[in-house]
């Protein structure tokens, strides 16, 4: 049920407009939000620690909101720390020193849920009689990956689906229109690569499109592999077992290979993965809604110099992409009072989607945001909502970290070593089975 079905944009818009009216928490919420009705907060002094994995842009907004919350609740002190890696969170959990609130990706969360280190979300903190009520506040399926059984374990501070970013100048220089000539399929991308890739002698000076191969954990490769497999009609993981060694997996790898230009010619790094697009070496890239601001920060000349269109598909009649999130979670070891305040703070932070969108283009997936003026006036909103509407969550497994590393190696074999995709898929399946048996 969590996995099935894709919701088309029209459905989302209609449902969102209907529910948006009945969900005032999502839009235009006043700064001084009190605790949801029936959610009693302690009156004694409470200190919370919150760790966030975000960058400077995000932490500025978070600090501002936390200060607002502390003003409303003078008995609450929040010690905020930013740029915290998931490795530090894991080590702190092991040492029993994890903060009361920490950010976890949907990929890591399955492990935390299985180990019972995160607390199930209490619906009452959202003023809802049950978890279904909280789930109903969000767009369909966006909470699937952070739900287990009938419990919801977090809400997203950032939700993404990848769309296609196009450099207007480079397109126009090649005689192309960024909107009319925007690629709709991966075959279109492969064709455009021939037009947009430029060389000076043997030296590649400009590329059309290139996948990202940065980050030692392999998460970019895992994202794109998921997308291509979904688009080919397959699954990556089903009931915790690997099912990507299939026709869909094969199609995903062969498609991937058809798009390779020069993987080594890159200045992307794990901490700056959009560098090649930002400095106009790559004419196209895949990214979520928040990336426009990052690209503009790297290269101010990119302001107004890009167009966002829906992510290319294998079969445009059966579109699919990936939704993934970073989420606020509460430590199960926190005291009862801390948990109460922690959930209330998360409710407070997550009830301002307009602010998050306006300030840093972080999308939290609540239904109401689509109807907000800030959202309606956002350029390329139709592309973002389209990709979100056809998004499916990552393969659900407590061995996701192993999985993404295995996928990255499989892609390396096919792309860089020219290995046979079929045998690479089989090898990767064996590796996953071994990893999950350890």
User: What does 23-73 look like in DSSP terms, one character per residue?
Assistant: -GGGSS--SSPPPPTT-----S-EEEEEE----HHHHHHHHHHHHHHHHH-
| Nearest residue (CB) to other proteins, 217 versus 280 | 217
Q: What's the N-to-C CA distance of the chain in angstroms?
A: 29
Q: Which residue has the tokens 């004419």?
A: 283
For the bound state, the minimum distance from the C-beta of residue 59 to other proteins, rounded and expressed in Å, comes to: 23
Question: Strands 198-200 and 147-148: what pairing?
Answer: unpaired
Please pick, from the candidates 4, 87, 150, 377, the single residue that binds other proteins as defined by CB under 8 A.
87
Binding to other proteins, residues 190-209 (CB under 8 A): 202-204
Within 10 Å of residue 22's Cβ, how many Cβ atoms? 11
Which CB sits closer to other proteins, 11 or 151? 151
Binding-site member from 27, 66, 109, 117 for other proteins (CB under 8 A): 117
CA atoms within 13 A on the CB side of 309: 17
> Whole-number minimum distance, CB 122 to other proteins, in Å?
22
Encoded tokens for 176: 């192309």
* Number of amino acids touching other proteins (CB under 8 A): 37
In the complex, the smallest distance separating the C-beta of residue 149 from other proteins, rounded to whole angstroms, is 18
Spatial distance between the Cα atoms of 46 and 205, rounded to a whole number of angstroms:
56
Our finding on whether 263 is near other proteins (CB under 8 A) is: yes
Pick the binder of other proteins from 79, 191, 315, 434 (CB under 8 A): 434
Query: Contact between 280 and other proteins (CB under 8 A)?
Result: no
By CB under 8 A, is residue 279 in contact with other proteins? no
- What character string, x for contact with other proteins (CB under 8 A) and - otherwise, covers 149-188? ----------------------------------------
d(CA 438, CA 435): 5
Nearest to 433, CA basis, from 221, 182, 275, 242: 242
What region, left, alpha or beta, does residue 399 occupy, with left being phi > 0 and alpha being psi -120 to 50 degrees? alpha
Phi, psi of 280, deg, nearest 5: 65, 25
CB of 201 to other proteins, least distance (A): 10
Q: By CB under 8 A, is residue 431 in contact with other proteins? A: yes
Neighbours of 71 (CB within 10 A): 11
**d(C-alpha 62, C-alpha 80), whole Å:** 9
Interface pick for other proteins out of 264, 304, 317, 377 (rule CB under 8 A) = 264
**345: CB partners within 8 A, 6+ apart:** 48, 50, 66, 69, 76, 78, 101
**Can you tell me which of 250, 408, 425, 428 binds other proteins, judged by CB under 8 A?**
408
Residue 305 CB, shortest distance to other proteins, in Å, is 25
Choosing from 51, 165, 399, 432, the residue that interacts with other proteins (CB under 8 A) is: 399
- Report 243-262 residues binding other proteins (CB under 8 A): 262
Tokens of 187: 């075959």
Task: With CA atoms as reference, report the closest residue to 138 among 124, 120, 122, 157.
Answer: 157
Smallest gap from Cβ 277 to other proteins, in A, equals 18
Q: For other proteins, which residue of 12, 93, 121, 159 counts as binding (CB under 8 A)?
A: 93
CB of 26 to other proteins, least distance (A): 33
Q: Would you count residue 435 as binding other proteins (CB under 8 A)?
A: yes
Positions in the binding site for other proteins (CB under 8 A): 87, 90-91, 93-94, 111-112, 115-117, 202-204, 213, 215-217, 262-265, 267, 270, 399, 401-402, 405, 408-409, 412-413, 416-417, 431, 434-435, 438
């Amino acid at each position: 049920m969590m996995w099935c079905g894709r919701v088309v944009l029209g459905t989302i818009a209609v449902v969102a407009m209907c529910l948006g009216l009945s969900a005032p928490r999502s839009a235009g919420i006043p700064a001084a939000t009190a605790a949801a009705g029936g959610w009693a907060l302690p009156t004694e002094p409470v200190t919370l620690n919150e760790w966030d994995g975000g960058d400077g842009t995000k932490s500025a907004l978070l600090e501002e909101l936390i200060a607002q919350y502390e003003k409303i609740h003078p008995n609450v002190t929040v010690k905020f720390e930013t740029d915290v890696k998931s490795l530090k969170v894991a080590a702190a959990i092991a040492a029993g020193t994890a903060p009361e609130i920490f950010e976890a990706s949907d990929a890591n969360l399955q492990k935390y849920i299985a180990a019972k280190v995160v607390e199930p979300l209490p619906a009452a903190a959202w003023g809802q009689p049950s978890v279904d009520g909280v789930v109903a506040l969000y767009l369909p399926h966006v909470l699937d990956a952070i739900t287990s059984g009938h419990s919801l374990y977090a809400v997203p501070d950032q939700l993404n689906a990848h769309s296609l970013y196009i450099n207007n100048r480079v397109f126009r220089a090649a005689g192309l229109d960024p909107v009319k000539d925007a690629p709709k399929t991966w075959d279109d991308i492969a064709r455009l690569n021939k037009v947009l890739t430029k060389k000076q002698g043997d030296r590649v000076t400009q590329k059309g499109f290139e996948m990202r191969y940065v980050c030692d954990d392999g998460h970019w490769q895992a994202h794109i592999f998921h997308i291509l497999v979904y688009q080919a009609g397959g699954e990556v993981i089903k009931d915790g077992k690997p099912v990507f060694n299939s026709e869909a997996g094969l199609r995903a790898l062969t498609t991937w290979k058809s798009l390779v230009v020069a993987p080594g010619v890159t200045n992307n790094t794990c901490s700056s993965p959009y560098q090649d697009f930002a400095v106009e070496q790559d004419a196209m890239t895949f990214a979520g809604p928040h990336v426009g601001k990052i690209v503009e920060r790297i290269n101010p000349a990119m302001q107004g110099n890009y167009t966002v269109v829906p992510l290319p598909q294998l079969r445009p009649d059966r579109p699919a992409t990936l939704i993934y999130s970073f989420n606020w979670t509460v430590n199960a070891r926190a005291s009862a009072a801390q948990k109460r305040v922690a959930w209330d703070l998360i409710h407070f932070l997550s009830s301002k989607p307009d602010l998050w969108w306006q300030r840093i283009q972080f999308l939290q997936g609540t239904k109401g945001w689509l109807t907000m003026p800030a959202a309606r006036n956002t350029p390329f909103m139709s592309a973002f909502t389209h990709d979100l509407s056809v998004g499916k969550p990552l393969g659900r497994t407590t061995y996701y970290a192993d999985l993404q590393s295995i996928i990255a190696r499989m892609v390396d074999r096919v792309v860089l070593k020219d290995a046979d995709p079929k045998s690479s898929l089989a090898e990767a399946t064996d590796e996953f089975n071994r990893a999950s048996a350890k």
